[in-house]
Amino acid sequence: MTKEDYKIENIYQGGYSSFKPSPLSPYFKTGQLGVTTKPSPDILTEVGASISSGLKQIEIEMLSPEIVDSIPRQHTEEVRRLAKLTGAEVSVHGPVIDVSGIDQRGGFSEINRLESEKRIIQTLLRAHELNPDGNIPVNFHSAEGIPGSQLLPPDKWTEGEEGTKYKRIMAVNRETGRLHPLDEEEKYYPGLSKDEKTGEIKPIRYKKYTPEQNLEIINSTEWDNSISQLYFNQERVDEILERNRPLIQHLMEDLRAKKNKNPKYSVKDLPPEQQNVYRTVETAHTYLEDINRQANSIFSKAYKYGDNEKRKVLGKISQNYWEQIKSNPENIFAQSIATQNLLLDLKKHEEVVPNIYVKIDDFALEQSSKTFGNSAFEAYKKFGDKAPLLTIENPPAGFALSTGEGLRSLVEKSREEFAKKIKKEYGLSENEAKEKASKLIGATWDVGHINMLRKYGYTEKDIIKETEKIAPYVRHVHLSDNFGIEHTELPMGMGNVPLKEMMEKLGKKGEEAKKIIEAGVWWTQFKRSPVPESLELMGSPIYNTGVAPYWSQAIGLQQNYFGGYGMMLPQINYETWGAGFSQLPSELGGSRQQAGGRMSGRPME
């Protein structure tokens, strides 16, 4: 660029227009925003530092059970007094633990679930110390460490017999908790097949199975295998009985008659040949008893994990079985026939196949709702209407129950569990129980976590729809930004989270909810508070009255993070070089008289 071409058309240095304070508008007032503390038992120092900075919303990070138990009671009482004195409002982020009872090794245990329940109850009790007079929000993740099923983006869902909504289903055995991933799978079989497009005859049959179909297959296969093994053992029993039937029937009758005459008469008194036959039949009887125990076990599974329609069919099978043995329950031949018919009935009625393997989201919903419902109920028993508000947060996308629909189902189911207990314990009506449940159990919507669905092909529009699904249940909002792939936590506006549209979908619930800035990456990598950048990027007004100026216009007042390279022509430039107004000494051509020598440093006279 030559000197003649040089010109300054626009010396605007960055920031947002005063007519449009921020692309993330509608903005949040400064008093509506809060920040998290560092995860430390020293909550007194952390909360004090946050209050000193002027914040009125503070979320205490009790991210592990060890932190919860390491906080002295005196400190929670002091934080309560400090918050009351300054007008600050405190919330709690509870331990990030799995609440369904599945450990990270992939095993389920009711003991594990109960331990998680105790930890949540303990956190609620400790949180109440921070605000005994109100419903302090206490936040927990819906799942942690459990890989969820992967949904396809909505525009790729297909309907029909081979339709699918899933890229992968993470199935879980409801008895053991063992995980089993199910993907789309191609299978090949012997035989001829005809290509529908070309008409070509191929020597191998081929079929593609969706994850949903593979889930049905794994349940049917396990059911068939369990019955087939029993049926094989039953055939061995029948073979033994039929081979010895002519001898054993007479032997049994003769032995019974002799025992009636002489109660001391036993098998040892029989001839050796008959003793061998008797022992053989007794072995068959032992096998039959074992088969009956296993048949009862699989019948119990079918009934336990079946719906009402399946249970009706199982009831008829049970009735047929009982009618066959009730006339002569001690007759081994009658027992064997009845057991054989029971196994045949269970095998031929495909509609009774139990859902031992289910989608992990369904299993987590069933178990986690117990944990949250029971925990909220225990807090209610102790504190009544002043019990903490238990909020359930969507974890990073990819974990179980991380979508808007999944979180909504969990909140609804947890409220049902709570209402069921409170109705039974306190004799409340259905409406009264539901009202208390909705007051004490809600959702935390993490806008950064849901944005991570982008890595599975979800669009911005899809993510906004997920927000719409959970909107009626939201009581708390976590603000963090990312680019839809990794679980980074940046201040809002530094990634691609569509916050403006999401808050519009949340509507009044979003306005009323506490909004907490979660920017862990900013704290750890950039070593400073994310609040100034968040206020600027969200267009928050400098004054809490809601009028201009806005933090996004702070560039006009002083330099800030988004102020570009600084002032292009600072005031000192004009003071030094301005024609007729410069401060250059006269010996250098300036108009200002210099008092004292510039080189010697002689003071002014």
Give the residues across from 188 on adjacent strands. 206
From 420, 304, 429, 405, select the one nearest 372 (Cα to Cα).
Answer: 420
Residues belonging to the chain: 605
pLDDT at residue 268 tops 90: no
Kindly list the distances between the CA atom of residue 587 and the CA atoms of 8, 593, 601, in Å, as whole numbers in the listed order: 31, 9, 16
pLDDT at residue 591 tops 60: no
Kindly list the distances between the CA atom of residue 532 and the CA atoms of 55, 366, 440, 485, 487, in Å, as whole numbers in the listed order: 11, 42, 33, 25, 22
- Strand spans (E) along 306-384: 357-359
Task: Say what percent of the chain tops pLDDT 70.
Answer: 79
pLDDT at residue 586 tops 70: no
- Strand spans (E) along 220-342: none
Dihedral-angle region of residue 25 (phi above 0 means left; psi in -120 to 50 means alpha; beta otherwise) = beta
pLDDT of residue 175: 83
Three-class secondary structure of residue 281 per DSSP: helix
pLDDT of residue 380: 97
Query: What DSSP character marks residue 147?
Result: B
Tokens of 250: 């007479």
Query: CB–CB of 215/171 below 8 Å?
Result: yes
- Write down the mean pLDDT value for the chain: 83
pLDDT of residue 501: 92
The band of 530, judged by pLDDT with boundaries at 50, 70 and 90, is confident
pLDDT of residue 12: 45
- pTM check: above 0.85: no
* pLDDT tens profile 413-427: 999 999 999 999 999
- Rounded Cα distance between 252 and 236, Å, is 21
- Rounded Cα distance between 32 and 62, Å, is 22
pLDDT at residue 460 tops 50: yes
Give the residues across from 592 on adjacent strands. 585
pLDDT of residue 412: 97
Alpha-carbon Rg for the chain in angstroms: 37
Query: CB–CB of 375/117 below 8 Å?
Result: yes
* pLDDT tens profile 17-34: 545 555 565 567 777 889
The band of 573, judged by pLDDT with boundaries at 50, 70 and 90, is low
pLDDT of residue 580: 55
pLDDT of residue 376: 97
Of 172-176, 183-187, 445-449, which one has max mean pLDDT? Answer: 445-449
Give the type of residue at 164: T
Give the residues across from 36 on adjacent strands. 59
Whether cis (ω within 30° of 0) applies to the bond prior to 549 is: yes
- Rounded Cα distance between 47 and 162, Å, is 55
The band of 554, judged by pLDDT with boundaries at 50, 70 and 90, is low
Which of 70-84, 346-360, 523-537, 569-583 shows the lowest mean pLDDT across its residues? 569-583
pLDDT at residue 547 tops 60: yes
Dihedral (CA of 129, 131, 136, 139) sign: negative
Alpha-helical runs (H) found in 23-101: 43-52, 65-70, 73-86
pLDDT at residue 43 tops 90: yes
pLDDT at residue 262 tops 50: yes
Query: CB–CB of 58/51 below 8 Å?
Result: yes
Tokens of 454: 């982008």
198 against 579, higher pLDDT: 198
58 against 338, higher pLDDT: 58
Give the type of residue at 470: I
28 against 251, higher pLDDT: 28
pLDDT of residue 409: 96
| Domains (range + CATH), the chain | 30-149+359-556 (3.20.20.150), 155-214 (no CATH), 231-354 (no CATH), 571-605 (no CATH)
Q: Show the CA angle centred on residue 445, arms to residues 434 and 69, nearest 5°.
A: 85
The band of 55, judged by pLDDT with boundaries at 50, 70 and 90, is confident
245 against 424, higher pLDDT: 424
The band of 273, judged by pLDDT with boundaries at 50, 70 and 90, is low
